[in-house]
Amino acid sequence: MKLHEYQSKKIFDRYDVPIPKGRVANIASEAKQIAEELGGRVVIKSQVLVGGRGKAGGIRLAKDPNQAKELATEILGMEIKGLPVRKILVDEIVNIDQEIYLGIINDRNYRMPVVIASAAGGVDIEEVAEISPEKIYKLPIDPLLGLQDFQIRDIALGIDLPREYWKQFLKILRGLYLAFIENDATLAEINPLVTTKEKKMIALDAKMIIDDNSLFRHPDLMELKDLDVDAPAEIEAQKYGLSFIKLDGDIGCMVNGAGLAMATMDIISQFGGQPANFLDIGGGAGAPKVSAALRIILSDPKVKVILINIFGGITRCDEVAKGILVALRDVKTEIPVVVRLVGTNAEEGRSLLADQNIQTAETLVDAAKISVLLSNGGEK
Ligand code: GDP
Ligand code: MN
């Protein structure tokens, strides 16, 4: 889950990472008021969960409260890379001297957090990484030992940070690391971390990504979720503990197990069809989960057929079949349903469904072929 800049800054603030004075606003008149409180000159920053807001015109400097209101009106009317701007952050202006990049990610190759720093921070860090990778300093951090002060000094040396800033940098990176660890982040990033004409270091931008699998132990963070980013169906699915990802095809899929769900999608493609979604209902899903899944699949008007692929292990296929029947009574639909059941009590499960005029198949290949045929308007 990505956090907005203003949300990430609030978290950074709790870890003593200095941030500019400022507040978030939903309407332009509020921006004017905040600008007055901050002494007139402010920066108006669109709060959308995409990078490159500056280049898209979503970050503008205002010289007085009236201009702050004008620019706020403009920015609040914008859409940046498809996302509507609903909030703006109004921050005091900072007199930038140098822009530094400082971030921590979970690195799969190192299998530990890695601190990334560069003296060439600002808006084009991806380009820097590609064209002049030697300007990027990386240091893996053993999570059991934590981030040590000597490592922070190595990083400061690595990016040629003037000595006068080392003390501030030490405090900032310690704070950033703690914010990263304690919030189960997969990314905590400051770009740019700036030095100012007044010789202060301050986090001008902030970005955090929280590991979705840890959200159960961060209920306060879960509330920060931006509902514009995920499709509504994905949010609905989360409520029922379903892993659902909307795709562009017309064959709705309901499968137990993530690997089997992916295999199902592959086989559909193999026979020339296109899956409408990825959906893993998990093991031992009962009727309520099955009907929620069915409703979510059917909320997509493109879906022409539903393929249910269940491998019964601990879950008994006759139980699953009953669940499907209850769900289909719940959610009435004209859309054909193809079911492939294998495993424990598969025979019983299939005969329960056959009575109900549902297409059943013994193999995944058959089920996929039938589904693709039906999705192309054919009859079985
Ligand atoms: P991003 O484009 O989405 O990464 O947004 P940032 O918050 O990183 O802002 C982009 C750029 O705007 C920064 O690299 C700065 O150059 C500039 N900027 C942002 N805030 C200020 C500010 O307070 N003062 C000045 N002078 N420039 C700013
Ligand atoms: Mn930035």
| pLDDT digits 0-9 by tens, 173-223 | 999 999 999 999 999 999 999 999 999 999 999 999 999 899 889 988 877
Q: How far is the CA of 54 from the centre of ligand 2 (A)?
A: 8
Bin 315: left if φ > 0, else alpha if -120 < ψ < 50, else beta.
Answer: beta
pLDDT of residue 328: 86
Q: pLDDT, tens digit, for every residue of 220-248?
A: 887 787 777 777 788 788 888 899 998 99
CA of 86 to the centre of ligand 2 (A): 19
Note the pLDDT of residue 284.
72
The percent of residues in the chain predicted with pLDDT above 70, rounded, is 98
Q: Whose CA is nearest to atom 3 of ligand 1?
A: 53
Question: What average pLDDT is seen over the chain?
Answer: 92
What CA–CA distance (Å, rounded) separates 261 from 263? 5
Ligand 1 atom nearest 191 alpha carbon: 8
123 lines ligand 1 (CB under 6 A): yes
Q: What is the mean pLDDT of residues 109-118?
A: 96
Q: Is the pLDDT of residue 317 over 70?
A: yes
- pLDDT of amino acid 327: 84
- Residues 339-359 have pLDDT tens digits of 999 998 889 988 888 866 688
- The pLDDT value recorded for residue 315 is 74
Whether the CB of 318 sits within 6 Å of ligand 1: no
Pairing of strands 243-246, 277-280: antiparallel
Rounded CA-CA distance 136/119 in Å is: 8
The answer, yes or no, to whether any atom of ligand 1 lies below 6 A from the CB of 191, is yes
Q: Max CA-CA distance within the chain? A: 80
Give the pLDDT of residue 380.
55
The stretch 131-141 carries a mean pLDDT of 93
**Is 137 marked active-site?**
no
Measured from the CA of 55, which atom of ligand 1 is nearest?
Answer: 2
Backbone angles phi, psi at 209, to 5 degrees: -120, 125
**From the CB of 83, is ligand 1 less than 6 Å away?**
no
Look at residue 147 and tell me whether its pLDDT is greater than 70. yes
Is 190 touching ligand 1 by the criterion CB < 6 Å? no
Catalytic residue among 101, 137, 165, 177: 101
Which pLDDT score is estimated for 355? 67
Q: Is 277 close to ligand 1, i.e. is its CB under 6 Å away?
A: no
What pLDDT band is residue 115 in, cutting at 50, 70 and 90? very high
pLDDT tens digit sequence for 37-95: 999 999 999 999 988 899 999 999 999 999 999 999 999 999 998 889 999 999 999 99
Distance 55 CA to ligand 1 centre (A): 10
Nearest atom, ligand 1, residue 53 CA: 3
Q: What is the pTM of this model?
A: 0.74
**Residue to probe by mutation, ligand 1, list 34, 96, 97, 197, most atoms within 8 Å of CB:** 96
Percentage of residues of the chain with pLDDT beyond 90: 69
Instruction: Tell me how far apart the alpha carbons of residues 238 and 227 are, in angstroms, rounded to a whole number.
Output: 12
The whole-number average pLDDT for the span 105-121 is: 95
Tens-digit pLDDT profile for residues 251-309: 999 999 999 999 999 999 999 999 999 999 987 777 788 888 988 998 888 999 999 99
129 lines ligand 1 (CB under 6 A): no
Q: Is the pLDDT of residue 379 over 70?
A: no
Q: Catalytic annotation on 15?
A: no
The dihedral through the CA atoms of 20, 22, 27, 31 has a sign that is: negative
Query: What pLDDT does 208 receive?
Result: 97
